[in-house]
Structure 1
Amino acid sequence: MSDTIKHECGIALLRLLKPLDYYKEKYQTAFYGLNKMYLLMEKQHNRGQDGAGLASIKFDMQPGQRYISRIRSNDSAPIKDIFARIRIRFAELLADKKPDELPMQRLKELLPYVGELYLGHLRYGTYGGNSIEQCHPFLRQNNWMTRNLLLAGNFNMTNVDFLFQKLINLGQHPKEKADTVTILEKIGHFLDKENEDVYQKYKKAGYSKKDITPLIAAELDLANILKKASKHWDGGYVMAGLLGHGDAFVLRDPAGIRPAYYYADDEVIVVASERPVIQTTFNVPLKKINELIPGNALIIKKNGYFEEKKIKKDTSRRSCSFERIYFSRGNDAGIYKERIALGKALVEPILKLINYDLENTVFSYIPNTAEVAYYGLIQGLNHYLNHKKADQILKLGGSCDKSDLLHILDQKIRMEKIAWKDAKLRTFITEDASRSDLVSHVYDTTYGVVHATDNLVVLDDSIVRGTTLRDSILKILDRLNPKHIVVASSAPQIRYPDCYGIDMAMLGDFAAFQAAIALHKERGTESVIQEVYEKCKAYLSDENPEPVNHVKAIYKSFSVEDISKKMAEILSPEGIRAKVSFVFQSIEALHEAIPEHTGDWYFTGNYPTPGGMRVVNQAFVNYVEGKRQRAY
């Protein structure tokens, strides 16, 4: 993707089902769990580089012995930093001892992060700062093991104000108004209540306080706790939690907006945000990995029993299509095929733009995540060219000779690596002009393969703001002196904000929205802007409105082609010599390529929750009123 946007976080949960001695003997390491957590987190580093965290629970420790460990980092390489610090701590605690010669029970007592249950998190900060306090897992501490809660998630809630007020109504005093704190305290409240209910039951039956503790651990109903805690949640989420005594859970939102997968055998139960991460880390086939059903929670008891339980009522499945287009790694078997299909779907609209002139067209892509869709585009172009060659051969009839045949067969799609993305540029220069010049050099180009008579087609995943295209990519492509630059997007036009975890919250930043507003001003229909503003204001003043996205009216008068042409004007840098055109994936082709992930609200404005509808209307009000802030 040419635009840099922050997005969904990543989670990894690991439960070791055998005694720790088993792993030491079988895998010849005392740190099997830690090694696997490192792999699960590192192979999801694409999901978050603003921070990372790791927590572990040790089972059956004696009173006075530490059983919860947590480490977090907002370092520039947070995963590396976390595990380096753990290694340093191990070296200090072991001194001249050799871990392989110590019994596992002794290592468990001596070393943090040697336990049976782990939770890891990769963070992208879609809102607010990136302090260490904003890194997951979050910890709610208590002297009762069963009241300790570690929480990490891939989520954004659209109704934080409402949830915050609910906590106040319970008599709590939250330390800040943030969805992470709100969710932690909400689950914590019902966890406390469940503890108290079980405690009172056995107290009335005559049990001692000490004897009641293990009974609470055995009887805690995590499904019941999650049902009550999540009653008013509106958002996209995968929430993972550990309790101090050893229970664990992972809860997924009912629309399936955020992804979660799990695998279980007689040694481990593992959960991750992406499927191939589990396949690679544990060397297991695709068919053995389960998708966590939307609205369900995977409940893992301390005794190793696990099951999926329905927590939220069924709703229409609207899994995020951006996960498939861009965010998740392309080595997932399904995602790879889908991105190939997205590329193939662009063949015909691109051919129309270049007047089917393959001889004078070079095809390339914006590195690195558009690469798979590019392969699909090339496959589709080769298919088209093969049919063209076949027609030419048939026209020759029986009169063709070898040279005629070779001339036809020599026709090729001109594939080149044109754009090269350099390492992230850092600078001490703060002046806007100097910084802008440096930004323009984020990409470099291949010289000598594009001619003045050529069209140059470059494929991108999606176009959000378009600033990198305008300030860098189009400028460097123009240096090659093509007659026509076509930027093709494997995603449709991004027209509406996201509120479920992607950092696309402000309407005024979107190139497609800017184009629509510019067209209204050109055509004298600016009154539509005020009409939509008034409808959005009225919507927001209604406590229980019928969900409606009034912002759709901004685009209603214009075709996709109208918006694309205006975007080309807006994003063409001053002084560019080549003609610039944009072509976008159609909504129909998107759903055909990715049939099981129909979440498309950023393209269509069809939000899967009431909170989403409120957010888009608020976003428009913010735009008109000049407020640069997210709408949730």
Structure 2
Amino acid sequence: MAELYHECGIAAIYHLPSAEASPIAPRQNPEDVSRLMPRLLLDIQNRGQLAAGMTRFREGEKKLIATHRDVGTVSEVFQLNHPADAEALMDEYSGPASIGHVRYATCGRDDRSYAQPFERSHLEKKKWFSFAFNGQLANYGELRAEILSQRDFHLARETDTEILLHLISQEISGQTGKLDMLELLKRLSSRLDGAYNIVFLNAFGDMFVSRDPLGIRPLCYAVENGLFAAASESVALANLGFSEESIKSLAPGQAVIIQDGELSVQQYAPSPRRAHCFFEWIYFANVCSTLDDRSVYLARKALGEELAAQEHIPIDETSIVIPVPDTAKAAADAMAYSLGIPCLEGLMRNRYIGRTFIESTNRADKARMKYTPLPEVLRGRRVFVVEDTIVRSTTMKTLVSQLLERGGAREVHVRVACPPIIAPCFYGIDMSTVQELFAPKYMDGLTLTPEIEAQMASDLGADSLRYLSVESIARAIEISSGALCQACINREYPTEHGRQLFQLSLNNDGNGNRVVEQETSLAHA
């Protein structure tokens, strides 16, 4: 699915005083722990490829905390293809503690100043800190207006990360004596609406890693042999060497706090309900990850089984299933296995097109460049093409055309391992406004009928189209619907400002799209 993007991922690592025997830490040297940050970020690169960065703490240096960040992939930012340069960079940024970030942004400015972490320098060590953020503040517009109403304050960027920078600075300045990170988080949470996972590091070497009270975005952590690490996805921790037993999902409203070398897990805000983003399992997360005790792979496999259970097109000797690479593969494999037909790679993804080269405003051109149909697989076949979801439909229209014209498929039946997308996301996904989405043009509210699907299929140029039901999502993920955020498929937003923004989006006329974009999608974290 080439139409939908996540906005970022975060990571943290800390060499605790008892970590000298850790088999994970390189060369058993506490000062080398931050060298592991690029490895952590590489494993969550799927969550953002526009920019990357890290901050390290090292006692005794003039720069107690130092930040390296830039536009580009992790390999580009950390010069991983140039060993000598990468080694020199890691020498400069080595230390016993580090936080990191990968970024994608809806407005996509290739501007280094938007890369994270954000560092705030100060003569007072308590006020010198760096942080990175995963999510989106639904009350961004309100908070921005509040800050700008005070003549002494100025915001240089249009991003909710800068809003958080201001709020954190304000709360720290209001404390006397030693920094109370639990109190800081309590006060922050009372002002924030939306998704906000944060990693924080200051000039004392104090760190916190926090997850918002609804748990909208995933966050995992592990402690083993005195070494602590956290990341947006579990695969990053597993690949670093942490055992499966030690990797846990941080509970909503909780924070891991490290202060004076001591680690504690504390509840900073109540979590009356959970609203885990279901898209993490069906699309965004690495298939190797386990989030909130549910395997991403097994969830996608279950989605494929749901697709097979509702199939009504006759199966013959020419029938095959093909995935749209890559994240639809698990669902496609499971669907094909259940139906007893082959799952073949009829679409090949060009993995060597650079990020800049495909940065085009024409989505159809992007799809043609990224995917190549294989006539040897497709010619004369009844093809069931499995996709994660359809957002704007431009990519799917192009793929159907390519499968028929270049691939020579006899029939193309589109199967979507997700219900129709009928509403925008205000919690950290680059989702269109209502006016730009594909499904709402056909549906009356939440109603989806076979006749509507037939009309959609006709407009896509396909022989048929089938979506999954909303109910199938909770079954596949094995988390109750009441603990999932499914706002983009059922319009039930879990926060007050999310509901307000949706109403605003419905009330906009043809010239009003920008109201929602300005309030929620301006170069977010």
When normalised by structure 1's length, the TM-score is: 0.74
Alignment of 1:406-421 (within 5 A): 413-421=341-349
Whether 1:256 and 2:215 are equivalent positions in the alignment is yes
Deviation at 1:117, TM superposition (A): 1.1
More strand, by proportion? 2
SS at match of 2:310: helix
Number of the residue aligned with 1:341: 302
Alignment of 1:118-517 (within 5 A): 118-127=98-107, 129-168=109-148, 172-176=152-156, 177-194=158-175, 197-198=176-177, 216=178, 220-285=179-244, 287-301=245-259, 303-333=260-290, 334-350=295-311, 352=312, 354-355=313-314, 357-382=315-340, 413-423=341-351, 425=353, 439-452=367-380, 454-516=381-443
AA partner of residue 68 (structure 1): I
Provide closer, same or farther for how the CA distance between residues 335 and 20 of structure 1 changes in structure 2, counting only shifts above 3 A. closer
Aligned 8 A contact 1:73 1:135 in 2: yes
Alignment of 1:535-550 (within 5 A): none
Q: 1-side partners of 2:262 and 2:372: how far apart?
A: 54
Number of the residue aligned with 1:606: 492
Q: 2-side partners of 1:462 and 1:431: how far apart?
A: 21
Deviation at 1:272, TM superposition (A): 0.5
Deviation at 1:477, TM superposition (A): 3.5
Deviation at 1:249, TM superposition (A): 0.8
Number of the residue aligned with 2:464: 581
Alignment of 1:36-47 (within 5 A): 36-47=36-47
Number of the residue aligned with 2:34: 34
Q: 2-side partners of 1:565 and 1:259: how far apart?
A: 36
Q: 2-side partners of 1:450 and 1:613: how far apart?
A: 45
Q: 2-side partners of 1:623 and 1:369: how far apart?
A: 35
AA partner of residue 247 (structure 2): I
Aligned 8 A contact 2:125 2:203 in 1: yes
Deviation at 1:564, TM superposition (A): 2.0
Q: 2-side partners of 1:26 and 1:615: how far apart?
A: 45
Greater Rg by CA: 1
Aligned 8 A contact 2:336 2:342 in 1: no
SS at match of 1:415: coil
SS at match of 1:414: coil
Provide closer, same or farther for how the CA distance between residues 182 and 481 of structure 1 changes in structure 2, counting only shifts above 3 A. same
AA partner of residue 241 (structure 1): F
Number of the residue aligned with 1:406: none
Alignment of 1:516-531 (within 5 A): 516=443
Provide closer, same or farther for how the CA distance between residues 250 and 589 of structure 1 changes in structure 2, counting only shifts above 3 A. same
Q: 1-side partners of 2:275 and 2:186: how far apart?
A: 21
Moved more, 153-162 or 11-20: 11-20
Deviation at 1:449, TM superposition (A): 3.7
Q: 1-side partners of 2:367 and 2:220: how far apart?
A: 38
Whether 1:559 and 2:448 are equivalent positions in the alignment is yes
Q: Deviations over 1:36-71 (max 9, x none)?
A: 212111111111100001110113x27xx2211111
Provide closer, same or farther for how the CA distance between residues 415 and 115 of structure 1 changes in structure 2, counting only shifts above 3 A. closer
Q: 2-side partners of 1:44 and 1:431: how far apart?
A: 24
Number of the residue aligned with 1:68: 65
Q: 2-side partners of 1:13 and 1:438: how far apart?
A: 34
Aligned 8 A contact 1:298 1:308 in 2: yes
Aligned 8 A contact 1:155 1:501 in 2: yes
Provide closer, same or farther for how the CA distance between residues 313 and 86 of structure 1 changes in structure 2, counting only shifts above 3 A. farther
Q: 2-side partners of 1:241 and 1:362: how far apart?
A: 49
Q: 1-side partners of 2:4 and 2:495: how far apart?
A: 23
SS at match of 1:613: helix
SS at match of 1:497: coil
Number of the residue aligned with 1:620: 506
Deviation at 1:294, TM superposition (A): 0.4
Aligned 8 A contact 1:240 1:251 in 2: yes
Provide closer, same or farther for how the CA distance between residues 298 and 563 of structure 1 changes in structure 2, counting only shifts above 3 A. farther
AA partner of residue 350 (structure 2): D
AA partner of residue 561 (structure 1): P
Alignment of 1:66-145 (within 5 A): 66-75=63-72, 77-84=73-80, 88=85, 91=88, 111-127=91-107, 129-145=109-125
Whether 1:57 and 2:38 are equivalent positions in the alignment is no
More helix, by proportion? 1
Deviation at 1:129, TM superposition (A): 1.8
Aligned 8 A contact 2:400 2:412 in 1: no
Aligned 8 A contact 2:79 2:86 in 1: no
Deviation at 1:440, TM superposition (A): 2.7
Aligned 8 A contact 1:443 1:473 in 2: no
Q: 1-side partners of 2:211 and 2:365: how far apart?
A: 44
When normalised by structure 2's length, the TM-score is: 0.89
AA partner of residue 93 (structure 2): Y
Provide closer, same or farther for how the CA distance between residues 252 and 21 of structure 1 changes in structure 2, counting only shifts above 3 A. closer
Moved more, 477-486 or 316-325: 477-486
User: How much identity, in percent, do the aligned residues show?
Assistant: 26
Q: 1-side partners of 2:15 and 2:32: how far apart?
A: 9
Q: 1-side partners of 2:23 and 2:347: how far apart?
A: 48
Number of the residue aligned with 2:458: 569
Provide closer, same or farther for how the CA distance between residues 432 and 256 of structure 1 changes in structure 2, counting only shifts above 3 A. closer
- Indicate the structure whose relative CO is greater, using CA pairs within 8 Å and at least 6 residues apart: 2
Q: Deviations over 1:231-261 (max 9, x none)?
A: 1201112111111111111121111101111
AA partner of residue 493 (structure 2): Y
Q: 2-side partners of 1:145 and 1:430: how far apart?
A: 42
User: Moved runs in structure 1, 4+ residues, more than 4 A?
Assistant: 19-27, 83-87, 89-92, 168-172, 424-433, 435-439
Deviation at 1:431, TM superposition (A): 11
Q: 2-side partners of 1:160 and 1:55: how far apart?
A: 25
Provide closer, same or farther for how the CA distance between residues 623 and 349 of structure 1 changes in structure 2, counting only shifts above 3 A. farther
Q: Deviations over 1:175-194 (max 9, x none)?
A: 24531111111011111111
Provide closer, same or farther for how the CA distance between residues 428 and 138 of structure 1 changes in structure 2, counting only shifts above 3 A. closer
Provide structure 2 residue ranges, at least 5 long, that are not aligned to the other structure. 521-525
Provide closer, same or farther for how the CA distance between residues 482 and 165 of structure 1 changes in structure 2, counting only shifts above 3 A. closer
AA partner of residue 81 (structure 1): V
> How many residue pairs were aligned?
507
